[in-house]
Structure 1
Amino acid sequence: MMDSRISPAALLLLFGLATVFAQTSAPGQACEVKNGTSCEECLRNVTCLWCITTKSCVTYPVKTILPPHALCPLNEARWGLCWMNFQTLIITLAVLGGILIIAFLVCLFCCCKCENFGSKRLEAKMEKRANKTRTKQEERRTEMKERHDDIRKKYGLSGQNPYSKFA
C-alpha cells in the first residue's frame, strides 16, 4: 500500500519546479485583472497571490515579505502552488532550514573533534617516540661512561684527576 503523505523535500522540489516553470504574464498585465478566475489561472504569474476566502488574485506584497493578514490569512493564501497554503510553505521551509543548520553544525563539530582527536593522537605518538629516543640516549651515555671507566682502570688512571682542584 502506498503512503499518501508527501515528504517536505518533495514538497519543496515541487514548489520550486512550479515556480520556475510558471508562465509570467506580460509586463503590463496586473494580477488584479485575474480576479474571479481560478487559482491556477492566477498563479501562472509568479508575482500573483491567490486568496481562497475572497477568491481574489492580488499582486504579492514584496516589501512586507509575508502577506499581511488584512490582505489574506496565511492559511488561505496560495503562492506558486494551489494545493499548498502559504503557512505550510513557511513552516516547511523553516523546518528544513533548521535541519540544514543543525546538520551543518553537527558536521562541523564532528570534523573539529576528529581533527583534535587526530592531533592528540599524533602528539602522543611523537611524545612516545621522544621518550624512546631519550631512553636510548641515556643508555648509550651509561655504556660510554662504563667503557671509559674500564679504560681508566686498565691504564691506572682511575685515581683522582690532578686537574680537578682547578675546576
Structure 2
Amino acid sequence: MEAAGCRPQLWALCLPFSFLLWSLPATGMEATASPSPAPALPCAAFTKRTCEECVKNTKCLWCGENDTCMDYPVSKLIPPSSVCELKDSYWGICFVNFEAIIITIGVVAGLLLLLTVCCCCYCCRRRRPSRKHERKVKHDEIRKKYGLLPDSDHPYSRYENE
C-alpha cells in the first residue's frame, strides 16, 4: 500500500497530502479562469477631463495648453513641439511638466557621470605612489639578487677583481 511517488517510510505522511490532491477537483476548488481585464479606454477619451485621469495610463500624454489627452508619440523620445510644447506637456505625473523632467534627468545623469569620473581619478592618483613604491622594492630586490647594490650580502654578489 504505497501512495504514488512516496517512499514506504513516509507513506503515513504522504497519504493525507495525496488524498487532498485527489479530492480538490471533487470539492469544486479547481482553477477557474479569471475574468479578462476591462479594455483600456483610448487616450482621446480623457480629453477635456483632468490631467490625473489622463496620465494614469502611461501611454497617454496630457497637453495643458488645450486640455487634450493624446497617445504618447512613441516614435519620438521627446514629443515634438507640433504635438504640444514641452512646458505644457505632462506625462506620468501632473505636478511637473515634461520640460522639467528632461532637465532634471539630464542634471542627475551629468552629476552621476561627473561623480564617477572624479572617483576614478581620485582612486588612480591614490594608487600611483603605492605603485611607485612597489616597483622600487621589486627593482631593489632584483639589484640585490645580482649584486648591484653596494651593501649587498647576497651569495651572488659581484666578485671583486684581485
Match of 2:114 among 102, 106, 110: 102
Unaligned runs of 5+ in 1: 1-24, 150-167
Question: Are positions 1:70 and 2:82 aligned together?
Answer: yes
Instruction: Count the aligned residue pairs.
Output: 122
Per-residue deviation, residues 2-41 of structure 1 (Å, max 9, x unmatched) = xxxxxxxxxxxxxxxxxxxxxxx95552101110110000
Distance (whole Å) between structure 1 residues aligned to residue 86 and residue 49 of structure 2:
20
Distance (whole Å) between structure 1 residues aligned to residue 156 and residue 55 of structure 2:
87
Larger radius of gyration: 1
Q: Verify the 8 A CA contact 2:144 2:154 in the aligned structure 1.
A: no
Question: Are positions 1:41 and 2:61 aligned together?
Answer: no
Secondary structure at 1:125 match in 2: helix
Question: Are positions 1:88 and 2:100 aligned together?
Answer: yes
- Tell me what 1:59 maps to: 71
Distance (whole Å) between structure 2 residues aligned to residue 123 and residue 107 of structure 1:
24
Q: Which structure is richer in relative contact order (CA contacts within 8 A, separation 6 or more)?
A: 1
Distance (whole Å) between structure 2 residues aligned to residue 68 and residue 54 of structure 1:
16
Per-residue deviation, residues 53-110 of structure 1 (Å, max 9, x unmatched) = 1101011101011111111100110111100010000000001111111111222222
How high is the TM-score relative to the length of structure 2?
Answer: 0.63
Distance (whole Å) between structure 1 residues aligned to residue 78 and residue 102 of structure 2:
9
Secondary structure at 2:84 match in 1: coil
Per-residue deviation, residues 110-134 of structure 1 (Å, max 9, x unmatched) = 2333333322110122334455563
Two-structure CA RMSD over aligned residues (Å): 2.9
Distance (whole Å) between structure 1 residues aligned to residue 38 and residue 100 of structure 2:
29
Q: 1:26 to 1:79 in 2, by over 3 A?
A: farther
* Stretch deviating more after TM superposition (110-119 or 44-53): 110-119
How high is the TM-score relative to the length of structure 1?
Answer: 0.62
